[in-house]
Amino acid sequence: MNSRKLTNKRIADFQTALQEEERSDGTIEKYLRDVRAFACWLDGRDVAKETATGWKKHLLSAGYSPVTANSMISAVNSFFRVNGWEDCRIKFVKIQRKLFREEAKELTREEYARLLDTAHALGKKRLALLLETICATGIRVSEVAYITVKAAQLGKAEIRLKGKIRVILLPGKLCRKLLKYAHQQKIASGGIFLTRSGKNLSRRQIWAEMKNLCGQAQVEPSKVFPHNLRHLFATTFYRAYKDIVKLADLLGHSSIETTRIYLLTTGAEHTRQLECLGLII
């Protein structure tokens, strides 16, 4: 068997392959980080089924959660696929399906409102509008760049990512706010959420601005990140309309099983539901 070394060139070729597959910048960055972590652990050894399986054991013994370990395994399996090393694929850690979400990570509407009020009080108009845009539409943070002046004028944004095209409808009140902000910032066309230099806000910048708001808004930082606003949109929509199929379309999910994960209640709410059954006499 020919030597299988995880070299810098192979990692660079992997990056090119991911770009050709039109993976998002965030996904590419994460996959490369995970593959480099695997390479560091290999420490020059050849890639083989035994070493790949050993890395899985290492992740679990090092204290990585099964979910995190599986995400890292997914990245390395993609690397194996691109290089034709399918015989080295690693089996995922089996995880029992969760019945509820951790309450410590559940962002409530009241906390969301505090974040908005605090952003306005601090004069952070762009951040406040960004929070509303993500939460009112359920878009991914990678899709923020598609919120343009034209999209606000039309009331819809066309998202082109990962080789897929989907249309996001924008509420009328949100469109008016977006256009008013764009006018104030003298943005005549293109993206609305821009840096001072006129570039689209990056994932890291959005994340950092949201985290910096937590202290004064008195909201736990563990609850404040872009994807949690997407969760809040999902749970609010489902409670109002009880239509998981429509919700899956709005979120851009190809599987309803993915949407179901968004609708997990907290442990406290799950307990209340059990108590309401009236089966303890």
Lowest mean pLDDT among 192-206, 217-231, 249-263: 249-263
What's the rounded mean pLDDT across residues 126-143?
Answer: 95
What's the rounded mean pLDDT across residues 79-103?
Answer: 82
Instruction: Specify the pTM.
Output: 0.67
Give the β-pairing of 265-266 and 100-101. Answer: parallel
Please determine, for residue 30, whether its predicted confidence score (pLDDT) is greater than 60: yes
pLDDT, residue 104, reads 65
Distance CA 95, CA 102 (A): 16
- Return the higher-pLDDT residue of 247 and 47: 47
How far from 115 is each of 75, 88, 142, 227, CA to CA, in Å? 34, 46, 21, 15
What would the 3-class secondary structure string for 182-197 be?
A: HHHCCCCCCECCECCC
Confidence of residue 149 (pLDDT cuts 50, 70, 90): very high
What's the rounded mean pLDDT across residues 29-35?
Answer: 95
- Point out which residues pair with 159 in neighbouring strands: 166
Residue-averaged pLDDT of the chain: 89
Lowest mean pLDDT among 57-61, 191-195, 265-269: 265-269
Please determine, for residue 50, whether its predicted confidence score (pLDDT) is greater than 80: yes
- Return the higher-pLDDT residue of 266 and 93: 93
Please determine, for residue 260, whether its predicted confidence score (pLDDT) is greater than 80: no
Please determine, for residue 1, whether its predicted confidence score (pLDDT) is greater than 50: no
pLDDT, residue 156, reads 94
What's the rounded mean pLDDT across residues 206-232?
Answer: 94
Distance CA 183, CA 208 (A): 26
Confidence of residue 67 (pLDDT cuts 50, 70, 90): confident
Which residues 6+ apart lie within 8 Å of 260 measured at CB? 244
- Which residue, 139, 209, 214, 122, is CA-closest to 174? 139
pLDDT, residue 22, reads 82
Distance CA 236, CA 23 (A): 29
What's the rounded mean pLDDT across residues 5-25?
Answer: 92
pLDDT, residue 177, reads 97
Confidence of residue 276 (pLDDT cuts 50, 70, 90): confident
Lowest mean pLDDT among 73-77, 107-111, 225-229, 241-245: 241-245
What's the rounded mean pLDDT across residues 64-92?
Answer: 94
pLDDT, residue 160, reads 86
